[in-house]
Amino acid sequence: MHATYLISIYKEPKSICHNMLIDLRLLAMTKLSLIYQNLIM
């Protein structure tokens, strides 16, 4: 999986920022959902 990720980065340098943005969005969503669950509990 890691190798394919590096290959994709090497092939498409423009997609690196896009993937990082997606990762940040997922992290933010998971953190928000955790905070929301804690508030409900």
Mean of per-residue pLDDT scores for the chain: 77
Q: Name which residue leads in pLDDT, 38 or 11.
A: 38
Q: Is the pLDDT of residue 39 over 80?
A: yes
* Domain residue limits at 25: 2-40
**SS in 3 state form for 1-41?**
CHHHHHHHHHHCCHHHHHHHHHHHHHHHHHHHHHHHHHHHC
Alpha carbons 9 and 3: distance in angstroms, whole number: 10
pTM value is: 0.49
How many separate domains does the chain show? Answer: 1
- Burial annotation 10-39 (CB, 10 A radius, 16+ → b, else e): eeeeeeeeeeeeeeeeeeeeeeeeeeeeee
Q: Indicate the pLDDT class of residue 19, thresholds 50, 70 and 90.
A: confident
The pLDDT score that the predictor gives to residue 11 is: 64
